[in-house]
Amino acid sequence: MSIVKLLGVSISGEHIYLVYEFVQGSDLGLCLRNKMNPDFTVLSTWMSRMQIATDVAHGLDYIHNTAGLSIDMVHKHVKSSGIIVTEPSFNAKICHFGAAELCGETREDGPQAAAAAERQFGVRGYMSPEFKATGVATQKSDVYAFGVVILELMTGKEPVRYKFDRSSGNHRLISVIETAREAVEGGGEEGVEGRLRRWTDKRLRDSFPVDVAEKLTRVALQCVQEDPDKRPDMKWVAGKISKLYLASKIWADRVKFPTEISVSLAPR
């Protein structure tokens, strides 16, 4: 199961304490971005990242289509810091499912509710346009956030970041969604392969199946379309990710690239 289990809830006065199963590992955001050593990541192989993408996809598919039975369940706060990369298996588990409701997150609709959720749960860059506008999370807003996580996995970058523009002297906001679109849809003589190799996380050492990377990027971009009706559902996405995982496994076996990792998640 790719979801961290909630074992119990305790209420004391105005405080609510949630008890989850103990999972040894670290969150995906820290695994991708180590401030003490930005050139290092435990997720240094393509297969390690495909494993996480597959686990998270199937975890969200379970939440949307199985966990609630006849009810449309929503995670609401999908983000890299809410995904645990387990040690030593390097599988992924989704955290905080249902925590927002248990902890009394505001149920008001509208931009104010969305802004409150953004501050409280740190989902800046993962919120779909309609979630921001209405404050109402849906399965399609979960799909949007998952698409952002996939692009984050591929680049190692935060969903949104500021970069100093020397020509203007100002800081420019860069979205991983925009850079992904440029990578697969941009023009010029370089071609898709060249743009993808330049866009993908350099710490993968340029060792990944380009055709699979392009397909994965396009799946992620389908997930982050502005119109929620044009986004696929998680069952379709999980099926696509599984096929890309198998294609990646064939590639890894062919090039005899190591898929098992023995490094530690402990701070360095």
The three-state (H, E, C) secondary structure of the chain, written as one string: CCECCEEEEEEECCEEEEEECCCCEEEHHHHHCCCCCCCCCCCCCHHHHHHHHHHHHHHHHHHHHHHCCCCCCCCCCCCHHHEEEECCCCCEEECCCCHHHHCCCCCCCCHHHHHHHHHHHCCCCCCCHHHHHHCCCCHHHHHHHHHHHHHHHHHCCCCEEEEEECCCCEEEEEEHHHHHHHHHHCCCCCHHHHHHHHHCCHHHCCCCCHHHHHHHHHHHHHHCCCCHHHCCCHHHHHHHHHHHHHHHHHHHHHHCCCCCCCCCCCCC
Confidence (pTM)? 0.87
pLDDT, tens only, 82-139: 999 998 889 999 998 766 555 555 455 666 666 666 655 567 799 999 999 998 999 9
Domain ranges for the chain? 6-255
Q: What are phi and psi of 207, to 5 degrees?
A: -110, 90
pLDDT tens string 30-45: 999 988 899 999 999 9
The mean pLDDT of the chain is 87
Percent of the chain with pLDDT over 90: 63
How many angstroms separate the CA atoms of 238 and 243, rounded?
A: 9
The answer to whether the CB of 83 falls within 8 A of the CB of 56 is yes
Report how far apart the first and last C-alpha atoms of the chain are (Å, whole number): 29
- What CATH class does 6-255 carry? mainly alpha
Residue 142, pLDDT score: 96
* pLDDT per position as a tens digit, 173-197: 889 999 999 999 987 778 999 999 9
